[in-house]
A and B are shown apart, each in its own frame.
Chain A
Amino acid sequence: MYKNLRWKVVTILGVFIVFFTLGVYPILAKRYNLPAPGWLLAKHLKLGLDLQGGVHLVLKVNRDDALRITTESVSEQLRESLRAAGVEPTGVSVTSPTTFKVEGVPADKDAEFRRVADEQTTTQYERSAAGGGVHQFSMRPNIVKELYEQTMVQAVETIDRRVNELGVSEPSIARHGMNDDQILVQLPGVSEVARAKDIISSTALLELKLVEAGPAPTREALLQPYNGQPPPDMEVVSGATDASTGQAGTSFFLVRKVAAVTGNDLRSAQVGLDENSQPAVMFSLKPDGARKFAQVTGTNIGRSLAIILDNKLQSYPRIDGRIADNGRISGGFTQQEAADLALKLRSGALPASMSYFEERVVGPTLGRDSIRAGVTASLAGLMLVVIFMLVYYKLSGINAVVAMVANLIILLGMMAWAGFTMTLPGIAGFILTMGMGVDSNVLIFERIKEELAAQRGARAAISASFSRVGWTLFDTHVTSFIACFFLYNFGTGPIAGFALTLFLGLATNLFTSWFVSKTLFEFNLSRRPANAQAISI
């Protein structure tokens, strides 16, 4: 009888030892400084934000910004090309992030216009003539999709670089939401929310542009010589109090639209001091940028260069000579502000602006309380279930308890090995695994009682019970799996942690409550006379 028993026992012990080593031993080793190889300690159960404290942010990427930037630059280029080709329309204007229109194309230049326009825009835009010299351009849907995708990838990469520079350990930055336009940022252990938020979501678009006029106290005053409208190749920017002049209040400047140098040309940025020993950001340029910068500064000595960050003028130093590959941004920063700006410039500009949709901050105190509560509840749950099983099923209760403990250890081992994150609801899933897992043993044991009552021998009763209950166990587990599956897909963070823990716990429970428990019975009976009639249940 039970000829495979030895192999079953070996299998169970093997599985148990593997998962104990992966899941439980590293925790003990860390706690009590036991010897353990590094690779084992590296794979550990991570604590979720709700347990160790930290910041959870959901940002919306305003992807249309990237479309608008493209549309603006394409329409601007088209205007230039048309002018070069001798076609002078009365107006080129951006009407939405994906559309722009050209008005007043002279009738005799229509063919020329079409040639130039199609040559330049047809890969990205669809052109339709509205009559009367008006042409509408709208971005092709595949280009919109492509730009959206590019924007998201670039945004995630940029935020990732910034967060890494912040020195957060084990951050998580992932795309999120049903429209695929959100990013979920999780920063364990961070509590300076305001600073983290600023660093993550500042566009940090740096532009150096030649100043044509200004400063002026109002927009109107600035534009008076230009009949109230900036010339087509110029634009108005404003800046707050400027440390370099000591002038208070907002002032307005007219600058060239085309930037001499942008943040893309930067090689690096560091904190330094300006001539007044105030914190400032020193930057150096890549070779290409340096060449452009040298050319612009060399030919415009005596004029001012506006340093514009996210459309706000920071300062406008006078160009005293030809500058090649480095420069300085000052503007009354504190040391921290200068350091953060340098960080943002180093990691590059975001391709679009961001909005915050969700913000959750768990302080370390609350996290510690939650861990304590979770551990207490787990131990209390374990004790209640163990006591009940031992009292109600006597010696067979030990069988159920061994199966349950094995289940919990395998579950912990799996989660640690796969690098899952333990959350507070995850602990709830762990506790529920105990209560719901032991149900399977109850079903089996009750059936054994019935079979014994029907005057079957112990061996027959046990093998009949396990085979009959098998499919019932399968059915009851599948319904819970279905619920867990949808819960996992629905929830982020903690809730997904719950669904995953419960799912894995119930899956391993199928193994322990059926296979392990059956083997234990068989092992026990194999040491008794073959005609044994009674088992303690």
Chain B
Amino acid sequence: MKLFEHTNIDFVKWRWHAIALSLVVILAGGLAIARGRLPLGVDFAGGTIVIVKFQQHVPIDRVRGAVSSLPNGAGNDAVVQEYGEAAQNQVLIRVARTGDESGGKLSEVADTVVGTLKQANLAGFEVINTEIVGPVVGEQLKRQGMLATIFAMGGILIYIALRFQFSFAVGAIAATLHDLLVTLAFLAFFHYDLTLNVIAGLLTITGYSVNDTIVIFDRVRENMRSMRRENLSTIVNVAVNQTLSRTVITAGTTLLSVIALYLFGGEVLQGFAFTMLVGIVSGTYSTVFIAAAIAIMLQGRKPIKGQLAAPAATERKPGRRRAS
């Protein structure tokens, strides 16, 4: 059984269309984010989340009504939504504020939310989860999250630059950056919050999406030795076609496990699973259309000699025959 037998699609020809499409998605995503469609979760912005489980079904609008009557206007920017499956009667209430950090008053807002719900004559309920993050910790996590992403990208860039030519490394990182931006765009389109779990997903994508690219680059390098007379576009195109079925299958198996996570992993992991889902699809797309295209752009400007020099660069390590 073989998914794609002897394909000969001219992926390189379509690279400008692909880049244009990606730019449209990324720009639309940027616009959505600029308009506040990807709000920071409480992990980063600070705030209070209370999740309650009612004994019987309660219309969400009644909960919303009760929350909007919170004292001092705390309920004005509150988010009230169902949590988990509808049959579980769980409601998540998110308020942007917390109590004061000093003197053990951090949970004051959470206590007020619970008190207000009790007074509102709704059905009996129990609080199943509380998350209160003060502004200091939020700020700290924001900085750490940004640093972690930058360092991870930097580390991967350095590693690929060491193992491959620099133009390939740039191509791989451009593809990874593309995946991150596309994933962020889709998170905004689908109204997700930027939480710790989503950041974990984004970092995992950073490490994963570069894998397919490595496989193709390995093949390009191998082909450079056997197809010296061809131009780089042809070599890249042949490599992409040769590796097409494994690119799709490897993404496919990971996608299968992520789909299981998305469908059955529960509400807590929803954001993470969605991030991975989009990131893997985008990763496959960028591997085929973007990574090699950028490598060609950087490498292609050089004269033919540059192309011949490329295999020579790898032959410095004759002991390592690598390709898949």
Contacts and interface: CB of A to CB of B under 8 A. Distances in A.
Answer yes or no: are A and B bound together in one complex: yes
Contacts of B203: 483, 486-487, 490
- Contact residues on B (Cβ < 8 Å of other chain), bracket: 35 or more
A476 B50 CA distance: 41
A469 B243 CA distance: 13
A360 B131 contact: yes
Interface stretch (B56-64, B116-124, B142-150, B294-302): B142-150
A465 to B, nearest CB: 8
B11 interface: no
A361 B130 contact: yes
Contact of A363 (B2, B128, B242, B269): B128
B254 A439 contact: yes
Contacts of B130: 193, 359-361
A442 interface: yes
Given A198-B104, A483-B204, A385 B129 contact: no
B53 interface: yes
A434 interface: yes
A402 interface: no
B256 A388 contact: yes
B269 A428 contact: yes
B292 interface: no
A392 interface: yes
Contacts of A392: 1, 249
A439 B250 contact: yes
A373 interface: yes
Contacts of B152: 482-483, 485-487
B324 A468 contact: yes
A472 interface: yes
Contact of A357 (B136, B159, B163): B136
Interface string A132-170: 000000000000000000000000000000000000000
A89 interface: no
A381 interface: yes
A438 B276 CA distance: 17
B312 interface: no
Contacts of B266: 369-370, 372-374, 377, 424
A385 to B, nearest CB: 5
A355 B129 contact: no
B151 interface: yes
A308 B319 CA distance: 78
A479 B211 CA distance: 7
Interface string B294-324: 0000000000000000000000000011111
B31 to A, nearest CB: 28
A374 B257 CA distance: 12
A483 B206 contact: yes
A515 B151 CA distance: 32
B126 A363 contact: yes
Given A385-B253, A449-B2, A370 B200 contact: no
The 8 A-B pairs at the shortest CB distance, nearest first, are namely A483-B207, A435-B257, A373-B266, A381-B260, A490-B148, A435-B254, A480-B207, A471-B322
Interface of A: 50, 58, 60, 177-178, 193-194, 197-198, 201, 353-363, 365-366, 369-370, 372-374, 376-378, 380-381, 384-385, 388-389, 391-394, 424-425, 427-428, 431-432, 434-436, 438-439, 442-444, 446-447, 449-450, 467-472, 475-476, 478-487, 489-491, 494-495, 498-499, 502
Interface of B: 1-2, 51, 53, 84, 88, 101-104, 106-107, 126-134, 136-137, 140, 144-145, 147-149, 151-152, 155-156, 159-160, 163, 196-197, 199-200, 203-204, 206-208, 210-211, 214-215, 218, 242, 245-246, 249-250, 252-261, 263-266, 268-269, 272-273, 276, 320-324
Given A373-B264, A472-B214, A483-B208, 4 more contacts: A58-B137, A384-B259, A394-B1, A446-B249
